Amino acid sequence: MPYVIGSECIDTTDMSCVEECPVDCIYEGDRKLYINPKECIDCGACEPVCPVEAIAQDRRVTEENEPHIADNRRFFVEPLPGRDAPLGSPGGASKVGKIGVDTELVADA
Amino acid sequence: MTATDTLQPDAAVGGGRDVDVDLLVVGAGPAGLYAAYYAGFRGLRTAIVDSLPEAGGQVTALYPEKMVYDVAGFPGIKGRDLVAGLVEQAARFDPVYVLGERAEHLTNEAGHRPRAGERLVVTTDKGTRIRTGAVVITGGIGTFTPRPLPGGAEWEGRGLTYVVKELAAHADQDVVIVGGGDSAVDWALALDGIASSVTLVHRRKHFRAHAASVADMEKGSTVVVTDAQVDSLDGGLVDGVERLHTVNVKHKDGAVTPYKAHSVIAALGFTADIGPLETWGIEIVDRKIMVDTAMRTSVPGVYSAGDITEYPGKVRLISVGFGEAATAVNNAATYLDPDQPLFPGHSSDDPAGIGAAAAH
């Protein structure tokens, strides 16, 4: 039951959530941030700091953001455009830095 | 007065000391504190080590004020009250607390990888040696460390710090504080008037810190720079030692302003990491410790419980952690003395509720 970042983040990427996350599980794509559902501990620290209210628990996302539940997962478990292997669970966003690529759902938005 | 400051145990053992126990609990969160209670009930001399300065683990560090609704027998309890209750429950058996020290190494008495039946030695980052018969790891999400200031590594200890240990150390200094949370703003307030100048740099316009503290800071003499971040640090030789003297701050529009600084205090929050446990020779998959139904890890004498464990069907909840802690400790008790029964008896059968400890 991880938290999920929705479409409001696209072209915002404020990064406040990244500063707040105690397990460093929020990764930076190109135009959007993504929460790694395997690393998220469901603490909720990210939700109130998002200036565009893009973050919600997966059970509580708005209807229009429902595709982003699967899309946050897809960012990690499927190879991103132009890559051979999925990102997986690196165990910390600061270890890998900015990924610089988005999922197709976000890139086409 | 909060529950935790009345019931929090003293960090009874200082750095570099020797501790000798039957069972060591690694991690003083809810699962660890409950493990300490059960170890006491089994008559085991117990120590608890934690890298944080206070008991309570994630609950104390991340959400002391949150209400928890899924602890059996408590329709609702505030995080810090639950921790206080757990500390009190364990206290009747007087466990040794080793707080503010991170468990670093696990070896046998000879300093090698332990084998079944051998006494274990856990060494902390402060040099405390804890000799024990068995270990229960209740490490939760891992050990908390300050989030590093990008590009700051080479200045650590030469001007860059992550915590303010003593306000007086910054007397008559130009100080730059980085961050927008309560720690950053509280330190700015505390140093205003002690330091010769205080500049606070925050990446956004809005602060996460309490609005009242931010208002106090803005009334004071702190120079508040928002929508900006630290770009680079510069230093030079002062009395033959390379010391920080300038913090270059980059604004949103790309302009860079240099600020004079003897010290930069980075208050960017904390991250948790499984850290040194990865070198203990126990089986870890995706930063979780693999255990069997007796909560045994792959190293004899080392058990685990709570959020850090993994097995098929695992549910990561505080109530599950309590059950695992009891399973781990009671199995550890039979590992330490195979003549002991696995089942501890009912605490309610014992007038004093002190179990095997009554024999001591």
With a CB cutoff of 8 Å and minimum separation 6, the contacts of A83 are A101
pLDDT in tens, B77-102: 999 999 999 999 999 999 999 999 99
Burial of B73 (0-12, 13-18, 19+ CB in 10 A): exposed
- Please state, in angstroms and rounded to a whole number, the distance separating the CA atoms of residues B71 and B353: 21
Q: Which pair of tokens denotes residue B35?
A: 């493990």
In chain B, what residues touch A49 (CB-CB under 8 Å)?
Answer: 208
CB contact under 8 A, B63 and A43: yes
Cα B207 to Cα A33, A45, A71, B184, distances in angstroms: 21, 15, 30, 10
- Please state, in angstroms and rounded to a whole number, the distance separating the CA atoms of residues A26 and B166: 33
> Which pLDDT does position B23 carry in this prediction?
98
Tell me which residues of chain A have a C-beta less than 8 Å from any C-beta of chain B. Answer: 14-16, 19-24, 38, 41, 43, 45, 49, 51, 89, 91-92, 94
At B145 the three-state DSSP class reads: strand
pLDDT in tens, B170-215: 999 999 999 988 889 999 999 999 999 999 999 888 888 889 999 9
Chain A: closest CA distance from residue B271 (Å):
4
In chain A, what residues touch B273 (CB-CB under 8 Å)?
Answer: 91-92
DSSP B280: S
Taking each helix axis from N to C end, the angle separating B30-41 and B79-91, rounded to the nearest 10 degrees, works out to 20
Q: Best mutation site among A14, A26, A41, A98 for testing chain B: the one with the most B CBs within 10 Å?
A: A41
In chain B, what residues touch A93 (CB-CB under 8 Å)?
Answer: none
Q: How many CA atoms lie within 13 A of B112 on its CB side?
A: 4
Query: Is the confidence metric ipTM above 0.90 for this complex?
Result: no
pLDDT in tens, B41-55: 999 999 999 998 899
Mean pLDDT of A6-25: 93
Taking each helix axis from N to C end, the angle separating B211-219 and B182-191, rounded to the nearest 10 degrees, works out to 30
